[in-house]
Structure 1
Amino acid sequence: MAAVQQNLSKMISAQLRNKATEFLNSRKHANNVADILQMFDAESDNYTSLLLTIEVIFTELLKRGDLVQEIIPLKPIDHSPEAEYTRWLRECYEAALARCLECVRRGRLSSRLQALVTACKLLQAEGRYPLEPTNGFYFPSVRLKNIFIVLLDSEISMSALIARFQEFTEYKDVQQYGLKVLSSIGYKKSPSSIYMQNYLELLDKLLAVEIPTEAKSKAKERDDEKEDKVLCAVEGKPKFAYHPVVCRRHANRCWGFACQWSLCGSPRAHRRALLLLVERLMPLLAKPHLATDMLCDSLDAGGPISMLALQGVLELVLLHNMCVCVFGRHLPEGLVAAFAKRVSRLALVAAPEDALALLQLLANLLLRHPALKRMICCDDTPTPPLMSGDPIIENQIAFCISKRKTKLNDRQ
């Protein structure tokens, strides 16, 4: 049965190639495009062959300039056969793009992935060969917006497709325009957990390529040997102007949306948000102090979420030299002192770079809680001291940690 289906698929692919070749070679086969678009209605699972066919057809039409329709203000609409044919081709192109985006939501996974790739390839072709005459760099941001609207689904997880989309976010123009588009359409007042997950994953992919900070941007201007990857670059036309400041501004706006959502109700989205904050966004934050509440609240969640939150606190101290109060001033001094001592012991066995971050956290605690300085130097300590050695029992700590892990595993 599988062999029969494979042979049938090959036969359909060959027929579609022939139809595409006939159409591209002669206008007398113009109806072949309409036939191909109608075949989407007959299919319900695998659209791969149809998607590849419309990609070939319309990429070639864009290269030829057959879809270009110059509109001159105050001039009557041209109704000549050539102009009418061009308008009809434009309608077919829009219909093909709509079909392509529909296939991103339905069918088997391989077909959905191909639909996303085809939509991006047509975006690239339109960027290089615009539908209207242009002299400067052109990026079809409306097409990217339509793709994002599909990927930001509230009911279907788009994790696999967003992961595939990362191969396009490596291009600087896609990153810059993508962040701009996402910042304009991403906000929802009460999003579903699936929407939040899709949104955070898409934002993560847009930030996969590092956005230079001000210092790195200046260094890059001095060392401009490596040229940035640009999806819609055209040889002989003006180059794309990449603006890290604009990217950082849009990234902050996108993160601001996520901060307004109730992430605690969705552990998966909560974990994804913290990962995004710690791994991508921390150096880009314009107002890093706004992340302190989220990080401190996440410390009580337990498990990997608390570990990520603690890492975020350390990053705030290390990168932004912030005075993060993990424990409020109203907490007992002994509790804060116990935490400080535990962190100090951890710093003794940590790697040098981790120990540096832990020491900065300890310095922060000492500033916020001056009474802790007695742990370092106490003038009123009796001589000889009351304790000749360290009273802590390592085996007991290990036992308590092991017991705590057992309880967490039982809950999960």
Structure 2
Amino acid sequence: MSPTHEVLVKQFKEDKVKNANVIVDFLQQLEDSDKKKVKLGIIGLRAIFIHLLKNGDIKTHVDIPDDLMTASNKFNKWLYERYNEAFEKLISLLRHEVRKKTEGGRSFPAQRLQALLDELISDNYDHQKCIENLKEQIECQDFMFYTLKSLSIIVKKHNKESVTEIYMNNLMLMLEQVNIPDVSDSLIVCTKLFREEKDTDGNKTTSNSKLNLSYPKAKRAVNIIWNEVISYPLTGNLYRRCLIFIPEKVIHHLEKPIRLTGFFMDAYDLGGALSLLALQGVFILVNKYNLDYPNFYQKLYGLLEPTIFHAKYRPRFFMLMDRFLSSTHVPEYVIAAFIKRLSRLSLSAPASCLVLVLKFIANLLIRYPGLQLLIHNPNATNLEDDPFDPDEPDMSKCRACESSLWEVATLQQHVVPSISKATGFLEKTLPVIEYDISELVETTYEEVHEKSCKLIVHETVATTFHKPTGLFTYQDDKMSDDWCVV
């Protein structure tokens, strides 16, 4: 029985000169038609070259006349040639189903990374698994920096007219894994490196100057990449991913974020899920970059429809809406309109969302004490007497301030105890500190049911006046006069 690849790797580590041909054997396995053997060859080469790179045994080849070469020089040259051969074969395998990531050289292998990413950001092959496998490497600041540089080169040279969905999926997946640190100085502070350099004493060092990780250069690459990405034709799925990712990870690195106005506004005007996702980007442009968009709150108000409780991005919407309505510069009539719209929606909202809605309303009343008159406004006690016009899109004309929270009062008798309890702010003094709604935004029916089942029911609670003796046979029975069991 031939030794396993683990045994071969172990033997190589014990004596690399004596067992050098193991590398050749693994290289040959990469050309085998058996996928299992190819995979074992990749694993073996990876283990060997990582071992050699960590020990500094693979060095950039320097031409030395053959007659002046020592045995050590010849062996190092041979190792370097095999390393190049392995790299080329692994790159070629990216065009096939058997794939695996590779490691760099002594100093950061920018050219090798460029070649690798050129293959990964493919127009024709879905490299999702390979790209996901790079997550650990991209956490290293040097790998992240050179990845951005390589991606900026890729998007600039790519023909926009030939962009495919596969290409965009590969590119987006790679971008979503890049997390650029927020820095105010000129250099990125390296907390973790892919290639750790060594000083003259053999100690590891993380010198920024050696790696030249300049934040302005990384920022320039980000701008190049995203200016291209938002100009590409995007599918619905890619559009959604961009609307989530750009506000959270990209916009503060852009030189002119206001250029994203068209991108976000187009999505905001489309309605549905895209409008919900565009909210954060539009708000950032309004709040931080002075975008003039006076209809922002009117558009947000218009999104409050019954369908919002069934949307995939419901948690995100409520957390963002809570943030948007926290500004002290928002007029009270606007907040009153939101409170009243939420109160009306509570009549048709699913039970799993009602505690969230009620706590949200309570928070707005705590935030704007002047609106607490809505709790006991005697001018509106039911639907017929309510001056509020739910069909009026203009919040200044919907007469929310003249209304009351009679809708919330109807929920005081709700069958679910947690919901009726959440209406307690109608009868008690509102707390000073707002409720934490972050734990409520993703409540499901299963959680409501589980919580209800854990409630303690006292056995002494009466359910009937007389103990029944059968299905229809009990004292003063009236039903059996007209019904019988067949």
TM-score (norm 1): 0.65
C-alpha offsets along residues 88-108 of structure 1, whole Å, 9 cap, x if unaligned?
A: 32221111122333444534x
- Cα pair distance change 1:324/1:361, threshold 3 Å: farther
User: In structure 1, what is the equivalent of residue 265 of structure 2?
Assistant: 296
2:330 and 2:287 map into 1 onto residues whose CA distance is 7
User: In structure 1, what is the equivalent of residue 275 of structure 2?
Assistant: 306
2:110 and 2:260 map into 1 onto residues whose CA distance is 30
1:356 aligns with 2:326: yes
1:45-194 paired onto structure 2 within 5 Å: 45-46=35-36, 47-69=38-60, 71=62, 80=69, 82=71, 83-107=73-97, 112=99, 115-116=100-101, 119=102, 122-123=103-104, 126=105, 130=106, 138-187=107-156, 188=158, 189-190=160-161, 191-194=163-166
SS at match of 1:41: coil
User: In structure 2, what is the equivalent of residue 269 of structure 1?
Assistant: 238
Offset of 1:199 from its aligned partner?
Answer: 0.8
Aligned partner letter, 1:194: I
* 8 Å CA contact retained: 1:233, 1:239: no
SS at match of 1:393: coil
Offset of 1:350 from its aligned partner?
Answer: 8.0
- Cα pair distance change 1:93/1:270, threshold 3 Å: same
1:168 and 1:361 map into 2 onto residues whose CA distance is 49
SS at match of 2:292: coil
Query: Gapped runs of 5+ residues in structure 1?
Result: 1-10, 131-137, 328-336, 363-387, 399-412
Offset of 1:245 from its aligned partner?
Answer: 2.6
1:312 and 1:166 map into 2 onto residues whose CA distance is 26
1:253 and 1:179 map into 2 onto residues whose CA distance is 10
- Cα pair distance change 1:79/1:259, threshold 3 Å: farther
* 8 Å CA contact retained: 1:153, 1:194: yes
1:229 aligns with 2:178: no
1:215-254 paired onto structure 2 within 5 Å: 217=185, 228-236=191-199, 237=205, 239-241=207-209, 242-254=213-225
1:59 and 1:325 map into 2 onto residues whose CA distance is 58
* 8 Å CA contact retained: 2:139, 2:192: yes
Offset of 1:358 from its aligned partner?
Answer: 10
SS at match of 1:299: helix
Offset of 1:282 from its aligned partner?
Answer: 1.7
C-alpha offsets along residues 325-353 of structure 1, whole Å, 9 cap, x if unaligned?
A: 769xxxxxxxxx96486489999998652
* 8 Å CA contact retained: 1:23, 1:32: no
Q: Which has the larger radius of gyration?
A: 2
Aligned partner letter, 2:324: D
- Cα pair distance change 1:140/1:348, threshold 3 Å: closer
* 8 Å CA contact retained: 2:279, 2:320: no
1:324-339 paired onto structure 2 within 5 Å: 324=293, 339=299
1:172 and 1:291 map into 2 onto residues whose CA distance is 27
- Cα pair distance change 1:285/1:390, threshold 3 Å: farther
SS at match of 1:42: coil
Aligned partner letter, 2:237: R
SS at match of 1:195: helix
1:393 aligns with 2:362: no
Offset of 1:146 from its aligned partner?
Answer: 2.1
1:281 and 1:355 map into 2 onto residues whose CA distance is 24
| 1:38 pairs with one of 20, 28, 32 | 28
User: In structure 1, what is the equivalent of residue 401 of structure 2?
Assistant: none
Report how many residues are paired: 320
Aligned partner letter, 1:198: N
- Cα pair distance change 1:168/1:85, threshold 3 Å: closer
Offset of 1:87 from its aligned partner?
Answer: 3.2
* 8 Å CA contact retained: 1:16, 1:50: no
C-alpha offsets along residues 380-409 of structure 1, whole Å, 9 cap, x if unaligned?
A: xxxxxxxx97441379999xxxxxxxxxxx
SS at match of 1:230: coil
Offset of 1:313 from its aligned partner?
Answer: 0.6
2:33 and 2:77 map into 1 onto residues whose CA distance is 27
* 8 Å CA contact retained: 1:159, 1:201: yes
* 8 Å CA contact retained: 1:20, 1:53: no
TM-score (norm 2): 0.56
SS at match of 1:232: coil
* 8 Å CA contact retained: 1:233, 1:240: no
1:267 and 1:235 map into 2 onto residues whose CA distance is 48
Offset of 1:305 from its aligned partner?
Answer: 2.0
User: In structure 2, what is the equivalent of residue 199 of structure 1?
Assistant: 171
Aligned partner letter, 1:176: F
* 8 Å CA contact retained: 2:223, 2:255: yes
SS at match of 2:133: helix
1:269 and 1:348 map into 2 onto residues whose CA distance is 23
